[in-house]
Amino acid sequence: MAESTAVKLDPRVQQFLEGGPKRLFIGGEFVEAESGKTFPTINPATSEVLAHVCEADQTDVELAVQAAERAFAVWSKVSPSDRGKLLWKLADLMEANLEALAQLDTLDNGKPIRETRHADVPLSIEHIRYYAGWTTKIHGEVINNSVSPNMLTYTRREPLGVVGQIIPWNFPLLMLSWKIAAALAAGNTVVLKSAEQTPLTALYMAHLIQEAGFPGGVVNILSGDGPNTGAAIVKHPRIRKIAFTGSTEVGKLIMRESASNLKCISLELGGKSPNIIFPDADFTKAVPGALLGIFFNQGQVCCAGSRLFVHKKVYDNVLADMSSYASKLKQGPGLDHSTEIGPLVSDEQYNRVSYYLNKGREEGANALIGGKPLDGPGYFVPPTIFTDVSDEMSIAREEIFGPVVTALPFSDEDQIADVIRRANDTEYGLAAGVWTTDVKKAHRVAHALEAGTVWVNCYNSFDASVPFGGYKQSGFGRENGSYALELYTQVKAVWMNLD
Ligand code: NAP
Ligand code: MG
């Protein structure tokens, strides 16, 4: 292994990790779980315990909902401008704590520090700032009705009340930011559950939320697992909405459970996104783009470009270039400056991805590079490119959520119908990529793909202003931009008779 260039631990991180179990954040205070239960959170680079965290159950969820209800009475009356100022202040505090947040997300999730410093944390800060700007721009409209000139009709956009938010482990801080920013901008209060694998940055954020001066109970942060804490949020009769990011399987469960009191729901679920390289692509962009599409965040990305369609004319060259780059990626602990690809988040995820590596070989695919999980400590799986894959194999159909891409040649000449049919032949529809220098073809393909996001000559681009969400079983509802405000407001029509 090359010489270690380990990052020096930020004293704020050290201090945060020391001491007793990390406490829940309810009603603006840090409290232990009523049951006294805790669980460990693991550093996936070493398999060692990072910290113990209090585990919320139904009783704590009830207390959090009560706190959020009390806070709603206050928060929904805070002026839009003051709500914006608080969000902006939170973003400033995040900026002042950028290194600590980056290190904590890296420690808890495993992702490289160069990503948390330059992607996760800055994107999270921008996200909060973007919605700070929206607080003063949420409004209804006056409607020109046909009933009578003396009948005034107008709409108001009102918050929903207490919203429940359940986030995954793949972008712990960013997913929290996506969830809370729009909800708070619109005047809701929040009960959020982090993923049990990555509870730390959410609790660090709780300190910043407190320091920023949000009224107690506006944001409540609970740690715990899905079937216990998560299910109690989903079932809670006075929570008005659930926003969920995670697996399609749990998304379906949440949809069923939310029927109990007809909660509004938005679901951002799994994917098996096609990334299509045409023979007229600019390969200096397409090859790095395809690599970024699958290996960013160790492939643990809902919109990962995991089905790589490459035109047969350029297939051998593209695959040779990709293998050459990918085999040089430096894999190691996230908290090393030079690491380009870290460990997977947990032993569970390591076992899941290992299962698919075996399955791929059993089904007759060939691992051009990678293909075998590494021995511990830590949950490392090398970048893997499978060739000799058919569309029917489970590695080409099921979400692996690891650094594993299936390369699929296609051979349409001028026609694009066949590759589009194959790209769309999936239950998912989160994202897709297209690489071509032919602008007409780019638009035709972008329009024909069944996906909530299509990237042309780029991949994994994100911005707070651009909507993100799924087609088909990748979910519904759009986060980001003005679209997310629709998830967190309800429209009231007011009729006023002036006669
Ligand atoms: P998951 O179970 O869907 O977890 C996502 C979130 O939902 C976590 O906070 C989880 O809690 C919670 N949850 C689980 N069961 C729940 C329930 N019955 N009621 C309420 N909340 C519940 O995903 P996972 O098990 O971590 O990962 C499995 C697979 O899901 C991955 O391999 C990947 O394919 C997919 N996934 C997709 C995304 C995405 O961004 N779309 C993100 C993560 C995973 P706990 O984890 O704390 O138990
Ligand atoms: Mg962890």
pLDDT digits over 455-497, tens only?
999 999 999 999 999 999 999 999 999 999 999 999 999 999 9
Residue 269 Cα: closest atom of ligand 1: 41
With cut-offs at 50, 70 and 90, classify the pLDDT of residue 415.
confident
Q: Residue 95: what residue type?
A: E
**Ligand 1 and 302: CB distance under 6 A:** yes
pLDDT cut 90: percent of the chain above it: 97
**Cα 111 to Cα 334: distance, rounded to the nearest angstrom:** 5
Helical spans, DSSP H, in 383-464: 394-397, 417-424, 439-448
Compute, in angstroms, the gap from residue 284 CA to the centroid of ligand 1.
36
Query: For residue 258, which phi and psi values (nearest 5 degrees)?
Result: -70, -15
Q: Judge if the beta carbon of residue 231 lies within 6 A of ligand 1.
A: yes
pLDDT digits (tens, 9 = 90+) for 168-209: 999 999 999 999 999 999 999 999 999 999 999 999 999 999
User: What is the average pLDDT across 232-242?
Assistant: 98
- Which residue's structure tokens are 């293909």? 371
In angstroms, the CA 371 to CA 388 distance is 14
Q: What is the identity of the amino acid at 483?
A: Y
Our answer to whether residue 18 is catalytic in this structure is no
Average pLDDT of span 252-273: 96
User: Ligand 1 centre from 246 Cα, in Å?
Assistant: 4
Distance from Cα 14 to the centre of ligand 2, integer Å: 16
How much distance in Å is there from the Cα of 21 to the middle of ligand 1?
23
pLDDT for residue 407 is more than 80: yes
Instruction: Tell whether the model's pLDDT for residue 414 goes beyond 80.
Output: no
Q: Give 5's pLDDT tier (boundaries 50, 70, 90).
A: confident
Active-site residue, 268 included: yes
Distance from the alpha carbon of residue 103 to the mean position of ligand 2, in angstroms: 12
User: Of ligand 1's atoms, which has the minimum distance to the CA of residue 474?
Assistant: 41
pLDDT 10s digits, 444-460: 999 999 999 999 999 99
Ligand 1, atom 25: closest residue by C-alpha: 247
**Is residue 84 predicted with pLDDT exceeding 80?**
yes
The one catalytic residue among 302, 303, 399, 479: 302
Task: Kindly identify the ligand whose nearest atom is closest to the C-alpha of 198.
Answer: 2
User: Residue 19's pLDDT is what?
Assistant: 87
User: Is the C-beta atom of 269 inside 6 A of ligand 1?
Assistant: yes
CA-nearest residue for atom 4, ligand 1, is 246
Q: In the numeric block, which tokens belong to residue 252?
A: 């379906």
Q: What token pair was written down for 257?
A: 């459970």
Q: Which residue has the higher pLDDT, 398 or 4?
A: 398
What is the Å distance from ligand 1's center to 166 Cα? 9
Q: For strand 307-311 and strand 384-387, is the pairing parallel, antiparallel, or unpaired?
A: unpaired
Tell me, what amino acid is at 391? D
Q: Does the pLDDT at position 253 exceed 90?
A: yes
The confidence band for 412, taking pLDDT boundaries of 50, 70 and 90, is confident
Q: What is the reported pLDDT for 4?
A: 65
Residue 129 to residue 498: CA distance in whole angstroms: 41
376 lines ligand 1 (CB under 6 A): no
User: Which residues hold their Cβ within 5 A of ligand 2, which is an ion?
Assistant: 41-42, 108, 197
Given a contact cutoff of 8 angstroms between Cβ atoms, the answer to whether 216 and 46 are in contact is: no
Cα(238)–Cα(434) distance, integer angstroms? 44
Of 115, 196, 268, 479, the active-site residue reads 268
Question: Cα torsion at 353, 356, 357, 358 (round to 10°)?
Answer: 130
User: So what's the pLDDT on residue 393?
Assistant: 98
Task: Give the nearest ligand 1 atom to 250 CA.
Answer: 3
1 has pLDDT over 50: no
CB-ligand 1 contact for 409 (6 Å cutoff): no
Domains of the chain and any CATH numbers: 11-269+475-493 (3.40.605.10), 274-463 (3.40.309.10)
93-110 confidence digits (pLDDT tens): 999 999 999 999 999 999
Pocket perturbation via mutation, ligand 1, pick of 41, 192, 234, 250 by most ligand atoms within 8 A of CB: 250
Q: Which residue has the tokens 């629709």?
A: 486
Asked if residue 168 has its Cβ within 6 Å of ligand 1, the reply is yes
Q: Is 195 in the pocket of ligand 1 (CB under 6 A)?
A: yes
CA of residue 55 to ligand 2 center, whole Å: 14
Best CA proximity match to 190, nearest among 59, 84, 81, 65: 65
Q: Whose CA is nearest to atom 30 of ligand 1?
A: 247
- Among the residues of 382-429, which ranges form H helices? 394-397, 417-424
Q: Which runs of consecutive H residues, i.e. helices, occur in 245-346?
A: 248-258, 283-295, 312-328
Ligand 1 atom closest to Cα of 167? Answer: 9
